[in-house]
Amino acid sequence: MPLVANSDLPTFARLRDEGETILGRDFAQQQEIRELHIGLLNMMPDAAIAATERQFFRLVGESNQIAQFYMHPFTLAELERSPEGRAHVAKYYKSFDDIKAHGLDALIITGANVTGPELSAQPFWKPLIEVIDWAYDNVTSTLCSCLATHAVMEFRYNQKRRHLGDKRWGVYSHHVVDRKHPLVTGVNTRFDVPHSRYNQIDAEQFATAGLHVLVDSEDAGVHLAVSADQFRIVFFQGHPEYDYTSLLKEYKREINRFVLGDRTGYPPFPQHYFTPQSQAILDEHRERVIEAIQRSSTPPNLPEELIIGELDNTWHDTAEAVINNWIGTVYQLTNIDRRLPFQPGINPDDPLGLRKR
């Protein structure tokens, strides 16, 4: 079902150019189809803010539910942004006060860049708690991505993330732990998910907090879990929203950090991502970069054009299916009056009725 271009946000035009179905506001208002209002708390830095919009908007827009999706991006004033980033937010984003005044059916919270090991010392800590507390009482379901999952696990469930020592990044195989949960209905029992992080919440910590793990990986840990009521909060540790080039761009950024002296060693490959042929090309590029640095000359550009055609996307279909299930369940549980998220007769502590099974 289509997205509605309810503002002049450039992401809508970009997605339309990519072939997505985007309805104009006037046309959409003539259709007798129920709408869903979904918030996106975008905490990503300026360099990734628009890409993150597109990635999550795309997943919602590809849902096949009989609904029109109004996307409402907002951010936190405490996050540091450039003049360009502040201008983008001022022009296209809503304030949290506006979000609260009009209400949401569902909420997505992105990750964020942090400085230092303690999440509680980050500038977004207290305002994020305010958003989560409001959403828990007023929104049918909140989906937390990566660092947002870690923050919520710490301040709501007293479970602090564990540092992994090295960065875990790549594309990893996962398996569905609970095949009966509505969020994984129709999903392959084994599928890939990209990860990119230095920290994680372990399966034992989710269990200690009384939460329910749905998707796990022997190599990458828990990807998908839900709150004790089975739906109010949904936790992602991986990045199913990633484009197929996202890890390549991240690898390129890490090389640039090495060139600038911001990291001590040349970055390793993201795991299970590049083909052997691509790795051979990138190994040769690494030698040329190191040689250029030793000669105090300009390092060569990454030969992206030789790599992109060899990249595979082995996760997007499953990401679509999970988000489709999430949106569909929100649609079923959300009252027309979004100030009353759960329909009469629905147990707010077990909205999906899973405890009866």
Q: Could you tell me if 317 and 306 lie in one domain? A: no
Residue 350 has pLDDT above 80, yes or no: no
CA distances from 52 to 112, 136, 161, 235, 321 (A): 11, 23, 23, 17, 19
Q: Could you tell me if 165 and 231 lie in one domain? A: yes
Q: Which is catalytic among the residues 53, 88, 144, 146?
A: 146
pLDDT in tens, 328-337: 889 878 754 4
Q: What pLDDT score was predicted for residue 9? A: 95
Contact between 153 and 201 under an 8 Å Cβ cutoff? The reply is yes
Q: Which is catalytic among the residues 53, 62, 241, 320?
A: 241
Residue 3 has pLDDT above 80, yes or no: yes
For residue 354, tell me if it sits in a domain. no
- Give the confidence band of 347 by pLDDT, cuts at 50, 70, 90: low
pLDDT in tens, 276-327: 999 999 999 999 999 999 999 999 999 999 999 999 999 999 999 999 999 9
Q: Could you tell me if 66 and 137 lie in one domain? A: yes
Q: Could you tell me if 217 and 341 lie in one domain? A: yes
Q: Cα 311–312–314 angle (5° rounding)?
A: 150
Return all residues near 260 (Cβ < 8 A) that are at least 6 apart: none
Higher pLDDT, 54 or 343: 54
Domain extent at residue 297: 246-310
| Integer Cα distance of 166 and 246 in angstroms | 19
Question: Residue 176 corresponds to which tokens in the numbers above?
Answer: 């569905």
| Integer Cα distance of 240 and 324 in angstroms | 13
CA distances from 88 to 84, 85, 107, 128, 145 (A): 6, 5, 20, 20, 22
Question: Residue 71 corresponds to which tokens in the numbers above?
Answer: 């996307």
Q: Could you tell me if 184 and 145 lie in one domain? A: yes
pLDDT in tens, 179-219: 889 899 889 999 999 999 999 999 999 999 999 999 999 99
Residue 241 has pLDDT above 70, yes or no: yes
For residue 156, tell me if it sits in a domain. yes
For residue 319, tell me if it sits in a domain. yes
Three-state SS for 170-189 is: EEEEEEECCCCCHHHCCCCC
Q: Is 146 a catalytic residue?
A: yes
Round the average pLDDT of the chain to a whole number and report it: 91
For residue 179, tell me if it sits in a domain. yes
Strands 141-145 and 106-109: parallel
Residue 223 has pLDDT above 80, yes or no: yes
Q: Could you tell me if 110 and 146 lie in one domain? A: yes
Q: Is 305 a catalytic residue?
A: no
Q: Could you tell me if 288 and 148 lie in one domain? A: no
For residue 357, tell me if it sits in a domain. no
Residue ranges of alpha helices (H) inside the chain are 10-17, 25-28, 46-61, 83-92, 96-102, 125-138, 147-155, 203-208, 246-260, 276-294, 304-307, 316-333
User: Which sign does the torsion angle of CA 13, 19, 22, 24 carry?
Assistant: positive
Q: What pLDDT score was predicted for residue 342? A: 46
Q: Could you tell me if 149 and 12 lie in one domain? A: yes
Burial class from Cβ neighbours inside 10 Å (0-12, 13-18, 19+) for residue 244 reads: middle
Burial class from Cβ neighbours inside 10 Å (0-12, 13-18, 19+) for residue 326 reads: buried
End-to-end CA distance of the chain: 31
For residue 127, tell me if it sits in a domain. yes
- Residue found by looking up tokens 């507390």 in the block: 133
pLDDT in tens, 145-163: 999 999 999 999 999 999 9
Q: Could you tell me if 54 and 199 lie in one domain? A: yes
| Integer Cα distance of 246 and 74 in angstroms | 23
| Integer Cα distance of 244 and 273 in angstroms | 9
Average pLDDT over residues 73-98: 96
Q: How many domains does the chain have?
A: 2
For residue 257, tell me if it sits in a domain. yes
Q: Is 118 a catalytic residue?
A: no
Q: Could you tell me if 139 and 287 lie in one domain? A: no
Q: What pLDDT score was predicted for residue 333? A: 81
Q: What pLDDT score was predicted for residue 138? A: 94
Q: Could you tell me if 119 and 171 lie in one domain? A: yes
Average pLDDT over residues 50-59: 96
Residues of the chain above pLDDT 90, percent: 80
Q: Could you tell me if 150 and 287 lie in one domain? A: no
Q: Which is catalytic among the residues 37, 174, 181, 239?
A: 239
For residue 233, tell me if it sits in a domain. yes
Contact between 92 and 9 under an 8 Å Cβ cutoff? The reply is yes
Residue 32 has pLDDT above 80, yes or no: no
Residue 357 has pLDDT above 70, yes or no: no
Q: What is the CATH number of the domain that holds 186?
A: 3.40.50.880
